[in-house]
Amino acid sequence: MTKNGKRILIALGGNAIKQAQEKGTADEQFKNVSITAEHIVRMIQALGNDDRLIITHGNGPQSGNLALQQDIAKEQIPPQPFDIVGAMTQGQIGYMMQNTLENMLTARGIKVPVISVVNQVLVDRNDPEFFGENASKPVGNFLTEEEAMKMKAEKGWIVKKVKPNAPKPWRRTVPSPDPIANVEAEAIKVLVNAGTVVIASGGGGIPVVQEDGRLVGVEAVIDKDLAGERLAEVVNADVFLVLTDIEKAKLNFGKPTESSIDAMTLEEAKRYLSEGHFLAGSMGPKVKACIRFIEWGGKEAIITSLDKAMDAIDGKTGTHITKG
């Protein structure tokens, strides 16, 4: 099918669903999703008839909390592995996004179908993330150093400092294998081509490997931005919009010489990434995903905050990455 119009893939950060200081109640999460949906609806209203919008999202706080909840109740109810936890949080967040968007679109008289899909993403069983202390994906709540060391000692968690200047800079990390392909790609393409706003690859997708011709779930959480880039390829996106909690990516993040980046060429982005300007488990995967998107053939990747999304699309703010 020949593509007409512009296609924008939005990769939502965890702050679109749960703020760091919140407990994560359903009311809190629905309130955050409502704020997020307001921005998305404005984007939908600005689209032409042939334009398409695709959404993916993180699930770090939700999957971490759900895993902890199951660990606490393990004497009564068997805890589920991380692929099942991923599927459960995909359903949870997908429902909240879908429900809120549908209500807002209906209230505005906009007839655009919205659907969230339970979506698997293929990874390699021999990915380095599965070995030793390599696990790099932060999940669950932010922790103090004391809390992190206690969890490491008591539960065997791998914990890492992921946000240097935060009051609670530590988080649990789990294997985050590199996404190879989106398993439900063909079904997603059909939905997007038909004009549906598709919510897919939630939390980076449910991680699966191929064994003897079968798909088998594995204990991991795929980075949502890297998986989102694979989804962007599937839907033939023009713009990859990575929304996080800061307006622009930074050079020398957390240092006295910190500075905002307005634009990067592909080669500049590669150089800055190799020089260590972007933290692993934080801005690093976002920039890496943007690099892959441009290398694949995408026109533009943008990193910005949720509240600046429309301005960033219009070129007024954000960090813009192009081929050069």
Is 323 annotated as catalytic? Answer: no
Of 18, 160, 163, 224, the active-site residue reads 224
Of 248, 286, 288, 308, the active-site residue reads 286
Is 15 annotated as catalytic? Answer: yes
Measuring CA to CA, how many Å separate 238 from each of 144, 173, 220? 40, 32, 29
Is 236 annotated as catalytic? Answer: no
User: Which residues does the annotation mark as catalytic?
Assistant: 14-15, 137, 224, 286
